[in-house]
Structure 1
Amino acid sequence: MSQTPTEQAPTHSSLTPLDIGHRQFPGRPGGYDRAGVRAFLGQVADQVEALLRERQDLRARLADLERELDERRQAEDEIRRAVVAAERIGHDLRENATRQCELMIEQAQSRREVLDRDAEARMAELEAQHQVRMQELEAAFRGRFADLERDHHQLTLERDRAHAERTVYLDRAFNERHADLTARLSVVRAEYTQFVSQYRALMQSFTELSARHLPAGDDLSLPGAGAALPLDAPTRVEEQQFV
């Protein structure tokens, strides 16, 4: 069904939800239901409004994405420039490091030569000092050794003299003690001989009296009767006491 020019939509390019919601349609016999058309237009207006809102959100999102893309592109450009600069700096650093290493090697070689010369001079000086010190120590050792030999000889003489004096003293003391003990031993032996003689005489008398007065067959002999005492018993006792 065609519309009259007064019933056609406005000629502007886009419609807003408000235009759709307030759109008026003229009445006509046998036409559409105004309430249904109004409800439908309200739904259309709501959907259009939602679509417009979504489109606005999408545009905002697109703007954000485009801005983020631009930022990332700028970051990539900066990173690329930084990488190029880093490569250039690395190349420069390698060249500088190479030159620095060569310079350090040259300086180290020069320093080593100087140190070698100083070490050789110091070694010669120390060797000379060592020789002088060795000579001094050798002279001191010889002097000290001579002193020690003299002291040792003196101590040996004193020890021999003291040993000789001690030997003479011990020999004299031993001889005196031996003479004293020999005299005492002679006295003891004489007393022991006299005692043995008296004991034997007593035993002889006792035996005769027993045989004379006791009946035949009885033996009342004293313990040890008839047993001879060794004459050298006191001698062994005295020798054991004075060993």
Structure 2
Amino acid sequence: MKFTPLDVRHQEFPNRMGGYERSGVRAFLNDLADDLEQQLQQHQTLLERVAVMEKELEAQRQNEDEIRRAVIAAERISHELRENAAREAELMVAQATTERDGLLREIESRRNELEAGHQARLSALDAAFRGRFADLERDHHALILERERAQAQRLGELERAFSEQHAALTTRLTMARQEYAQFLSGYRALVASFSELAARHAMPEEPALPVTSLPAGPVETGHAADAHDPADAPEPAPLLGHTLVTAGALTPDAEDRPMRVEAQQFL
């Protein structure tokens, strides 16, 4: 049975002979009620504090549970992150390895293509060079043949022209010899006639002209001189002094005046 301070204050005891003093009992009850009331207040305060502390403890427990759950979640997340990071790293390494292998294969293929293209280009250049060199050799040989043919043709033309010129010069030389022989014959006849005229009309007081001789033949140069020997031409007869009768001596009055005779030397 629980007693409250109010119950203690209003507690009544039965009256008996030889009992306790009322005032003392009442004072004790009042003190007891005050003390009980104080104890109850303290107890209530403690209960309130215990309730608050229990609430705080519950909150701390809840926080601890949340922290524990957070730590567990963090550990799980960290483990998952480590596993994910490891898987991603493995995937990245595998992808990088695959890309590296692909790049190496592409580089090798590109290198093989470049080498094949380079070899094909070298082969084409070598074939073009050989073809061009053969064309140049053929052109050079053709030019040499054409030059030799042109030289032979030019030499033939020069030989024909020389032969024609030599034949023409020989013909002209022969004609000149014939004309010279005719001239020499006429000249000798003329000299003979002049000698007769000079003998007929000679003047004693005039001295005789110096004896001259005609040249043996015309002066020749080049091949014509080789074709004609001056020793083969006939030598003209030496001329004695002679005179030439001028046209004035043959006029009608030539008998009335002395005959005018001009001495002429024939070269």
Task: Please give the range of the TM-score, normalised by the shorter of the 2 chains.
Answer: 0.3 to 0.5
- Higher helix residue share: 1
Which TM-score applies when normalising by structure 1?
Answer: 0.38
Specify the structure having the higher radius of gyration (Cα).
Answer: 2
The TM-score, its normalising length taken from structure 2, stands at: 0.35
